[in-house]
Amino acid sequence: MKVTGIINMIKNRFARESVYNKADYWNAKAKELEGDAVSLWPNNNLNRLYEKEHMRFYDEFLNNITNLKAADLGCGTGNVTRIIAKYGANVTGFDFSEETIKIAKKRSEGISNIFFVVESVFNFYYPDEYDIINCRTCLTVACKDANELTVVLKNISSSLKSGGKCIIIEPIHKGFLHRVLNIDLEEFVSLMEQAGLEIKTIRQMHFVPVRLILSYFNIPMFITEPIYHIGQWIMHTLGWKWGDYKAIYAEKK
Ligand SMILES: C[S@@+](CC[C@H](N)C(=O)[O-])C[C@H]1O[C@@H](n2cnc3c(N)ncnc32)[C@H](O)[C@@H]1O
């Protein structure tokens, strides 16, 4: 990452509410960056480790889903969309960034049970259509407050069939580290419950201090990996609840 990249990133953080929830920002990233950095962090080695951690969560909750109907909201370049397709569901990825969807389609060529649509998460409303809805790192950049989040969560809940699975993996924080949405985990979860989603599991992911040190620079794997594991050890063994992302599994009531 060049110095100008870091300066832009700091500027973006200060203007977060008028940047991250606009398709232009994600279209530009899709044109400028490579690999998973298009949708995730500049350090692709850290992205790879995060992907493994997320896979363990998806492994737990996405079994026996062959031929079921799934949606991946704010799918970006389609990493999770492809994971869901691999488990056998017929999955559609939705994202409002045309450039990102172009990359998602290219990376998914030859997979028959995967589809992509350019659509905002605010227009996602398909009553009783889906067995599974996933959303990774979209709601906290798309929604600017609890009212907007409520609208989207209610539409997600309405779009699920009874007993349908909802997986949300998001950096949910109140305060300095928040993305666009500035609410804490307790409020987020309570809005999910009010929308008709019954929370089954919540897990902390990615120890915050390590994420801050490693995410913005392309640090080689032999440095990224041990520091990442030390952070995970501190979070799990010493019980520090300083996860950046929270992984939530819920079912429609
Ligand atoms: C951090 S990326 C995550 C991408 C993908 N879910 C992943 O985990 O690899 C956030 C994505 O959310 C999308 N996004 C943001 N606001 C959105 C909205 N209102 N509707 C649809 N997509 C949105 C962006 O275009 C971007 O691709």
Domains, the chain, with CATH or none: 3-40+65-206+241-252 (3.40.50.150)
Q: Which two tokens stand for residue 225?
A: 């990996």
How many angstroms is it from 24 CA to the middle of ligand 1?
12
Residue 135 near ligand 1, beta carbon < 6 Å: no
SS3 (DSSP) at 94: strand
How many angstroms is it from 189 CA to the middle of ligand 1?
20
- Rounded Cα distance between 99 and 45, Å, is 23
Indicate the top mutation candidate among 46, 92, 95 to test ligand 1's pocket, ranked by most ligand atoms within 8 A of CB: 95
The size of the chain, in residues, is 253
* pLDDT per residue as tens, the chain (253 positions): 555 656 666 666 666 777 778 888 878 877 777 777 666 788 889 999 999 999 999 999 998 999 999 999 999 999 999 999 999 999 999 999 999 999 999 999 999 999 999 999 999 999 999 999 999 999 999 999 999 999 999 999 999 999 999 999 999 988 877 778 999 999 999 999 999 999 999 999 988 889 888 988 889 999 999 999 999 999 888 877 788 899 999 999 9
**How far from chain centre, in Å, is Cα 192?**
16
Residue 95 near ligand 1, beta carbon < 6 Å: yes
Residue whose CA is at the smallest distance from ligand 1 atom 14? 74
Residue 219 near ligand 1, beta carbon < 6 Å: no
Residue 96 near ligand 1, beta carbon < 6 Å: yes
Q: How far is CA 160 from CA 29, 68, 166, 252, in A?
A: 31, 12, 8, 7
Residue 247 near ligand 1, beta carbon < 6 Å: no
